[in-house]
Amino acid sequence: TPVHRGKSPVLERALGRPRSELSLAAFALLFSELVQYCQRRVASVAELQARLAQLGHHVGLRALDALVARERPGRRETKVLGVLLFVKGPLWRALFGREADKLEQANDDERTFYVIEREPVVNTFVSVPRENSSLNCAAFAAGLLEAVLGAAGFPARVSAHWHKGTTLMIKFDEAVIARDKSLEGR
């Protein structure tokens, strides 16, 4: 007999306010399994980070639309500063329960910005052995952020680093900065 697939009416439902928050412990354990699963299938720390970034990417792409529809109905960020403040504030709060600690710009590079978190929520139950010093969780968040920025019209490369806690380094494409400058010129 053919297997029937059910179609859920999820697309017809209203977006509504974000419903309940869920237990951090449950997420942390899920995330831990995710990391272990990836670890078993890769041969290097770099590959692991790439995998986690991919998974974060998947999440970021899907989180953005619903979030923007709720937080900024009818408006779209067009300036770099605008999207960065959106990331540091509403996006971070909606996903991780609190704003990112700091947003900084690189002194010597107009394309580079930093989102800094002393103790990222996703790192809560992660202890990294000295010999690994890999950035498991941050790589996930970096992939997430990269997807969000790209989908929002601000293509960038985002990487994770140990610095002042965890720092996500955002390097926008040249075109983004050029566009921003021309917008200011008007």
Stretch that binds another protein, among 60-68, 74-82, 166-174, 178-186 (CB under 8 A): 60-68
Q: How far apart are CA 172 and CA 113, in angstroms?
A: 8
| CB nearer to another protein: pick between 34 and 177 | 34
The verdict on 184 binding another protein (CB under 8 A) reads: no
Q: How far apart are CA 55 and CA 58, in angstroms?
A: 5
Tell me the β-bridge partners of 112.
Answer: 171
Indicate the DSSP class of residue 165: S
- The number of residues that bind another protein (CB under 8 A) is 46
Please count the other Cβ atoms lying within 10 Å of the Cβ belonging to residue 119.
Answer: 10
Q: How far apart are CA 87 and CA 146, in angstroms?
A: 11
Stretch that binds another protein, among 78-86, 96-104, 155-163, 169-177 (CB under 8 A): 96-104
Residue 178's nearest CA partner among 79, 105, 82 is 79
Q: Binders of another protein among 126-155, rule CB under 8 A?
A: 127
Residue 24 CB, nearest approach to another protein (Å): 5
Residue numbers at the binding site for another protein (CB under 8 A)? 3-8, 10-11, 18-27, 29-34, 36-37, 41, 54-56, 58-59, 62-63, 66-67, 94-98, 118-119, 121, 124, 127
